[in-house]
Structure 1
Amino acid sequence: MKQLQGVLFDLDGVIVDTVPYYYEATKQLADELRLPFSEEDNIRFQGRPRMDLMNHLVGDRYTHEEKVELGERRNRYYQERIATLTRADMMPGIEDFIEQLLKEGIPIALTSSSSNAEFVLQQIQLLDAFTAVIDPKSVSKGKPHPDIFLKGAEAIMVPEENCVAIEDGEAGLAAILQTNMYAVGIGPYDHLQQADWHILDSTKLTVSALKENFYKKQ
């Protein structure tokens, strides 16, 4: 029988609402290049590697090296925005949920597509709560490939079938569904209905509710 022994968290849209900052930073770059970029595009590329977004945004107009530079420019715009983050910017209920997990001795890891993940956790004073931070530098293939979640389970030394992974992005959920992990989807998006447990917002996350749904799936 499976046992709930570890939890993996996405960052953006799960722990802190930085998704609008991604949109603003990318829209700033797109406007400078006189290229279209919509909020729907932002949702679609949420959680995917930076170069996937750059390839979508500029297509064949630029060389690979130029796309890398543009991606770095966009990242600077994003960093300017997240520099103001504080603990108050955490998603509702997440801080209490993490405290509950740690009190029960359940290790947690961050599994994020953001190269700024550690910086964000430092800003919201949550870095020390995580056993490990797995980001794009830790794996060769980003979401929707499952590598980042498998690496997270390995980092907290929990078999993947005993891990819960929490996501709000389409690419992230697709990655979890390629593993034997229990998938929790947070948000109003249709694609999250494929999760093992789908909740509309983070206030519904408690250890007791998670355990109830996790063991119900057995």
Structure 2
Amino acid sequence: MSQIQAFVFDLDGVITDTAKFHFIAWQKLAQRLGFDIDHEFNERLKGVGRMDSLNLILQHGGVILTDEQKDKEAAQKNDEYVELIADMSAADLLPGAREALESVRGAGLKTALASASKNAPAILARLGISDLFDTVVDANLVVNGKPDPEIFLKAAAQLGVSPNACIGVEDAVAGVQSIKNAGMYAIGIGDARVLTRADAVIDGLHQFDVNRFIVKD
């Protein structure tokens, strides 16, 4: 029986939904290169880092770029994405997100964010919830993207907590795999038929009950 000491949350699709902004920016990039991507393809980019997403898109469009061209396109995509999220506010929190975070803090547990977004700190500030996290680990601080466990292991290390005393919360298959690869208990947000490696699955943080997860076998 391990006593849970911390929760590590993903950002997109768990606390807020910026997928629509990513899609618009990626779609513009694809169109600049002479092809298009649809919402179905965009699902493949869920939880995937910026450069890995770019490589998937280029492969989809049959386009080959030099590393220098990739860097330029990725930077332009990010500039457009940053413009799109500039007007985000607390109104963009997903249902139950603030309450879930506050309940974890109220239970005396630590909280961390593990996000593939390099804009995560800015997004938390716009959502008005920066103070609800003890530490933030984003793509700027890791080498390997999900499903590699690095981001969740780094979050646990920064919290000073053993990974097996942490619970990770993710909505993407790669994210859940990352949590499990880190040796943590995994809560999936979404469809249990998709998030098959999750230890528990809920529809969203509006269904989150910290007392259900504090002590795990």
Pick from 73, 76, 86: which aligns with 1:73? 76
Q: Take 1:142 and 1:58, find their aligned partners in 2: how far apart are those partners? A: 18
Structure 1 residue 100 displacement after superposition = 0.9
Contact 2:165–2:184, Cα closer than 8 Å, also in 1: yes
**Where does residue 99 of structure 2 map in the other structure?**
96
Identity percentage of aligned residues: 36
SS of the equivalent of 1:121 reads helix
Q: Take 1:67 and 1:190, find their aligned partners in 2: how far apart are those partners? A: 35
Q: How does 1:61-140 map to 2 (within 5 A)?
A: 61-140=64-143
Contact 1:146–1:178, Cα closer than 8 Å, also in 2: yes
Structure 1 residue 41 displacement after superposition = 2.2
**Where does residue 52 of structure 2 map in the other structure?**
52
Answering whether residue 5 of structure 2 is matched by residue 2 of structure 1, we say no
SS of the equivalent of 1:190 reads coil
Pick from 205, 208, 215: which aligns with 1:205? 208
Pick from 153, 172, 177: which aligns with 2:175? 172
**Where does residue 154 of structure 1 map in the other structure?**
157
Contact 2:192–2:201, Cα closer than 8 Å, also in 1: no
Answering whether residue 151 of structure 2 is matched by residue 141 of structure 1, we say no
Structure 1 residue 42 displacement after superposition = 1.7
Q: Take 1:190 and 1:89, find their aligned partners in 2: how far apart are those partners? A: 27
Letter in 2 for 1:154: A
Task: Give per-residue Cα distances to partners, 1:1-55, cap 9 Å, x unaligned.
Answer: 2111100000001010111111111112212222231222222121212111111
Contact 2:96–2:204, Cα closer than 8 Å, also in 1: no
Runs of 4+ in structure 1 off by over 4 angstroms are: none
Q: Take 1:190 and 1:41, find their aligned partners in 2: how far apart are those partners? A: 19
SS of the equivalent of 1:41 reads helix
Backbone CA RMSD of aligned residues = 1.4
1:31 to 1:190, Cα distance in 2 relative to 1, 3 A: farther
Letter in 2 for 1:80: E
Return the TM-score normalized by structure 1.
Answer: 0.93
Return the TM-score normalized by structure 2.
Answer: 0.94
Structure 1 residue 146 displacement after superposition = 0.4
Contact 1:43–1:169, Cα closer than 8 Å, also in 2: no
**Where does residue 186 of structure 2 map in the other structure?**
183
Structure 1 residue 193 displacement after superposition = 2.7
SS of the equivalent of 2:100 reads helix
Equivalenced residue count is 214
Q: Take 1:84 and 1:13, find their aligned partners in 2: how far apart are those partners? A: 18
SS of the equivalent of 2:168 reads strand
Task: Give per-residue Cα distances to partners, 1:147-205, cap 9 Å, x unaligned.
Answer: 00000011111111110000001211111121210000001373313200011222111
157-166 vs 16-25, which moves further: 16-25
Q: In structure 2, list runs of 5 or more residues that go unmatched.
A: none
Contact 2:50–2:74, Cα closer than 8 Å, also in 1: yes
Contact 1:109–1:152, Cα closer than 8 Å, also in 2: yes
Task: Give per-residue Cα distances to partners, 1:133-155, cap 9 Å, x unaligned.
Answer: 10112111111110000000111
SS of the equivalent of 2:2 reads coil
